[in-house]
A = this chain, B = another copy of it.
Amino acid sequence: MSPSIELINTGSELLLGRVLNTHQQWICRQLADRGYEVTRQICVADDGPSIQAAARESLGRADLVLTTGGLGPTSDDITRDLIAQLLGRPLALDAAVLANIKERFAKIKRPMPRSTEVQAMVPAGARVLANLNGTAPGLAVEINPNPFRENKRGSWLILLPGPPRELRPMFSESVLPLVLEEFPPAQAFVCRTLHTTGMGESAVEEKIAGSLQPLVASGLELGYCARIGEVDVRLIARDEKAAATVSQAEAIIRQLLGVLVFSDGDDTLESTVVQLLTARKKTVALAESCTGGLIAHRITNVPGASAVLVCGLVTYSNDAKKNLLGVRGETLAGHGAVSAAVARQMAEGARERHATDFGLAVTGIAGPSGGSAQKPVGTVFIALADGRETTVEERFNPFDRETFKFVTSQQALDLMRRALAWEDK
């Protein structure tokens, strides 16, 4: 039986809409990938009564309750006190924790503010979770019997610090092992996510759902997640044949979708492209107009990109297209800057002038202004030159400016990925 898990995020900044709740996504993802399911997530302000009330309610429902935030030294951070009060367990100074905190301050050669000492206060019977990147340790408390449940069934309450660089390693190194030990997976669990691009969610579903039906009937869980310019297909199985079921499903999908599948793990489209270029010892030069540097930015997010990206040119103006890429004045005059002919010359010019294997170029109308009846906002031409031939694709991405840029960058990266993937065939 899978445990019921609730996640309580504390922080006024969340309820004021100042920050995104990245803890929710990260923690839920960590648990989901191991077969655990968060049944509810709650966000409350970090004031005393709100935190106490939320913890009490969650402990009344769930086998495992996780809280984030509120373990720091400042006056706002009162989670520790209130939880101890709620559980009726006195706080006591933990000498080992205090020594750790002092050592940390000594290492960075700063005096330890008196207020930090409160972080060494631990409720009776709690397990201390080491913090490798900060002073506030995490705390894990088993509450058994659990007075907040009618049947008194025991629950675990785990308190985690707020800063991501403290929470994430603590979760991986201390919380996951504890969860796996205290709530051992009752059955096999296999989860795989296939990332696709080039087709919308309903088209992907239409293409594969029928063929997967027999596997779904015998227990495969099939999920779709549409992102901008990308559709993920999630495969989950939970019985003794789980690995075989998921592999079978993956084989069916790969056969039906072919080159649309670009990754079956954590690889992004840009890291897939950098890996393919690296493996084939190929280089690329970019010529971006309407994406304004986003393709270069995405490629250079991948460590090792410098080995494959020789240069990127953001040529917004016609002059820059002429001077930096050799686009001809009469082509610009005759076809307009947003045209297949200009995209072609941009890609070929980038490739030739920088002696790379590929030249990849985009030109289009991002909007909000600049469109016309013949070339409305959203019109895009993408070109890839490889020395033998130049492929030009026309796309129509009538979205807001930032979505337009992202979708277009996705299409351009995918054009290059497909060209590299075909080389295998």
**Chain A contact residues, CB within 8 Å of chain B:** 12-22, 24-33, 37-45, 50, 54, 223, 225, 227, 232, 234, 286, 288, 291-297, 299-301, 303, 305-306, 309-317, 319-320, 323-324, 353-354, 366-369, 401-402, 405
Q: Are A405 and B293 in contact (CB under 8 A)?
A: no
Q: Are A45 and B50 in contact (CB under 8 A)?
A: no
Copies of this chain: 2
Q: Are A299 and B310 in contact (CB under 8 A)?
A: no
Of the residues B29, B42, B292, contact of A16 by C-beta under 8 Å? B29
Q: Which residues of B contact A310 (CB under 8 A)?
A: 316-317, 319-320
Q: Are B311 and A315 in contact (CB under 8 A)?
A: yes
Q: Which residue of B lies closest to A54 (CB)?
A: B40
Please list 10 pairs of residues, one from A and one from B, whose beta carbons are closer than 8 Å in the complex, sorted by A's number: A13-B223, A16-B37, A20-B20, A20-B25, A291-B297, A293-B296, A297-B297, A300-B366, A301-B402, A313-B313
Of the residues B18, B24, B33, contact of A29 by C-beta under 8 Å? B18
With A17-B30, A21-B21, A30-B17 known to touch, is A292 a contact of B303 (CB < 8 Å)?
Answer: no
Chain B nearest CB: distance from A198 CB in Å?
20
Q: Are A40 and B42 in contact (CB under 8 A)?
A: yes
Having A15-B28, A310-B316, A312-B314, one finds 4 other A-B pairs with CB under 8 Å, namely A18-B232, A40-B54, A292-B299, A311-B317
Q: Which residues of B contact A25 (CB under 8 A)?
A: 14, 17-21
Q: Are B18 and A21 in contact (CB under 8 A)?
A: no
Q: Which residues of B contact A314 (CB under 8 A)?
A: 286, 293, 296, 300, 309, 311-314
